[in-house]
């Protein structure tokens, strides 16, 4: 018998260390599984969860009211059954993990009750938060807890490069721990790899948000869905070093003004600044084009801006802003679609699960309701972690692909220049507004770009090259979905619906 190459094994393998990945790892360990969590992050700030500002929504005892708001924000496109799962399990998941297990100190009022916030498209105050840096205050304790768990091994600075597949099933991943790929085999593999912010020049995501899980799953043959729905946050700082100005600011009374000093959101939607994100983002962009600038006026906030939002105020001071009228512009924020999964996080390939922003659960439809992303990651992470511990699923050591790494290193600035080209294409044709001709042109550019990158991945193995490949694959999938959807809904806004649509080729 030939000798088996060096490899690792686990009952459950989790790829990604945000709230969804940590929740999946925690629940699988609670079910007595041996869990290996691998993440390319080297610090909490490398995960999208750490960047989440506003908070995590709860049902606050009224799941039907939250369901109505989720469906309304989605423009009626969210899956009601998926939304039922979210709202039904919201309060219990928050109570179990965030309050009882981790002891997160959410902001309170003077009387000791939670200081629930309200954000855009929410009909009431139901959002738990810590200042406007909720993700940081949740993720870091969660990572520490998971890292200390006796059944969970956390391996940082470790990127997954390919899924290991055999006969229509997934049996683990190849990581970059060896030059030609290090096999990690598992009874179940859970992808929790985050979003796609690196595909756009301006994003609220960390630099490592390159669509890794979506690309790996799609290349292995898994179903993906709703990838045309890329959400742009309406209020990111408009300068060269963008940062998010949380929707909680508008929930507490901040208003948007154009360069003439006029408050304009009443002209676009009856809910004004608290309209759904896609509506506000397009309105901000329109006013910027027509008047030259849009600012977020924080002087109208109830209470002092510096006292209510110290973290955001510090970001303003670091950039020389006075913190009264802050220039804003839309910025890529969240992908509403992704790997198509069921209510337990199961993908279409046997043995593959996915949770968090890399998935399409059906909760968000065409537009995500504010502060539901952390909740979706938590709820689906727990459900997938439990489902992944399938007592009948058996760990199989199958032949893993051996990656080639014989050619010289990449040319200097190869990845940076290709990423710039990709970002420019996505920004021009797959941003806030699209038209069929532009989508078709973008698809052609992205196909050529992917071909150039593929020529290098055949003979070289490096994290930056595979991130670039993943970004190209995901960009092509977004272009294909946008080209196939001729209806403007939510985040997918077509400006010339009478033009012929193109059908870009699927990535190969």
The residues annotated with a catalytic role in the active site are 277
CA-based nearest residue to 132, from 301, 379, 342? 301
- Residue 296, strand partner residues: 256, 326
Q: Rounded distance, CA 124 to CA 68, Å?
A: 12
Q: What letter does residue 358 receive in the DSSP assignment?
A: G
Say what angle helices 212-220 and 463-484 make with each other, to 10 degrees.
70
Residue 35 phi/psi, 5-degree rounding, is -115, 135
Q: Rounded distance, CA 411 to CA 34, Å?
A: 41
Q: How many helices (H) and strands (E) does the chain have?
A: 13, 16
CA-based nearest residue to 291, from 245, 331, 265, 257? 257
* DSSP states along 272-291: GGGS-HHHHHHHHHHHHHHH
Q: Which residues contact 413 (CB under 8 A, 6 or more apart)?
A: none
Q: Which residues contact 336 (CB under 8 A, 6 or more apart)?
A: 226, 229, 230, 231, 360, 364, 365, 366, 367, 368, 490, 491
Neighbours of 5 (CB within 10 A): 14
Rounded (10°) CA dihedral 94, 95, 98, 103: 160
Residue 277 phi/psi, 5-degree rounding, is -60, -40
CA-based nearest residue to 313, from 237, 240, 203, 232? 237
Q: Are strands 152-155 and 35-38 parallel, antiparallel or unpaired?
A: parallel
Residue 261 phi/psi, 5-degree rounding, is 85, 5
Neighbours of 83 (CB within 10 A): 25
How far lies 146's CA from each of 141, 272, 377, in Å?
Answer: 9, 42, 16
How far lies 175's CA from each of 17, 156, 237, in Å?
Answer: 15, 11, 36
Reported residue count of the chain is 508
Neighbours of 406 (CB within 10 A): 9
Rounded (10°) CA dihedral 102, 107, 113, 115: -130
CA-based nearest residue to 40, from 144, 146, 191? 191
Q: Rounded distance, CA 252 to CA 245, Å?
A: 12
């Amino acid at each position: 018998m030939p000798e088996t190459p060096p490899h690792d094994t686990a009952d459950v393998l989790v790829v990604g260390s945000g709230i969804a990945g940590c929740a999946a790892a925690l629940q699988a360990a609670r079910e007595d599984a041996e869990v290996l969590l691998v993440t390319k992050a080297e610090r909490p700030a490398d995960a999208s969860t750490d960047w989440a500002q506003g908070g995590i929504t709860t049902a606050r005892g009224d799941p039907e009211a939250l369901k109505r708001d989720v469906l309304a924000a989605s423009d009626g496109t969210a899956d009601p059954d998926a939304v039922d799962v979210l709202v039904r399990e919201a309060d219990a998941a928050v109570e179990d993990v965030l309050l009882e297990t981790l002891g997160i100190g959410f902001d309170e009022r003077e009387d000791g009750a939670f200081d629930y916030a309200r954000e855009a498209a929410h009909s009431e105050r139901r959002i738990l938060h810590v200042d406007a840096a909720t993700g940081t205050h949740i993720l870091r304790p969660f990572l520490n807890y998971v890292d200390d768990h006796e059944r969970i091994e956390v391996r940082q600075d470790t990127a997954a490069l390919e899924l290991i597949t055999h006969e229509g099933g997934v049996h683990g991943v190849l990581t970059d721990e060896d030059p030609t790929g290090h096999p990690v085999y598992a009874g179940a593999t859970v992808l929790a790899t985050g979003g796609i912010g690196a595909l756009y020049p301006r994003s609220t995501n960390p630099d490592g948000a390159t669509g890794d899980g979506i690309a790996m799953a799609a290349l292995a043959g898994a179903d993906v869905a709703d990838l045309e729905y890329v959400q742009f946050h309406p209020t990111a700082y408009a300068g060269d070093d963008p940062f998010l100005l949380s929707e909680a600011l508008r929930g507490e009374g901040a208003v948007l003004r154009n360069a003439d000093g006029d408050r304009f959101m009443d002209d676009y939607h009856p809910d004004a600044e608290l309209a759904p994100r896609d509506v506000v983002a397009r309105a901000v962009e329109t006013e910027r084009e027509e008047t030259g600038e849009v600012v977020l006026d924080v002087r109208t906030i109830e209470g002092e801006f510096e006292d209510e939002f110290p973290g955001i105020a510090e970001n303003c001071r670091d950039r020389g802003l006075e913190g009264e009228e802050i220039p804003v512009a839309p910025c890529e924020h969240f992908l509403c679609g992704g790997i198509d999964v069921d209510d337990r996080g199961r993908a279409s390939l046997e043995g593959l699960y996915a949770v968090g922003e890399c998935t399409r659960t059906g909760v968000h439809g065409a537009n995500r309701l504010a502060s539901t992303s952390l909740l979706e990651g938590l709820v689906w992470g727990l459900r997938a972690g439990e489902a992944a511990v399938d007592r009948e699923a058996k760990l199989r050591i199958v032949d893993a692909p051996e990656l080639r790494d014989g050619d010289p290193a990449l040319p200097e600035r190869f990845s940076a220049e290709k990423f710039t080209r990709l970002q420019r294409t996505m920004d021009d044709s797959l941003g806030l507004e699209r038209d069929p001709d532009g989508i078709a042109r973008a698809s052609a550019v992205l196909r050529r770009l992917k071909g150039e990158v593929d020529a290098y991945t055949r003979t070289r193995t490096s994290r930056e090259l595979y991130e670039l490949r993943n970004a190209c694959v995901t960009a092509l999938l977004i272009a294909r979905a946008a080209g196939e959807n001729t209806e403007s809904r939510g985040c997918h806004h077509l400006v010339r619906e009478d033009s012929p649509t193109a059908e870009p080729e699927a990535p190969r």
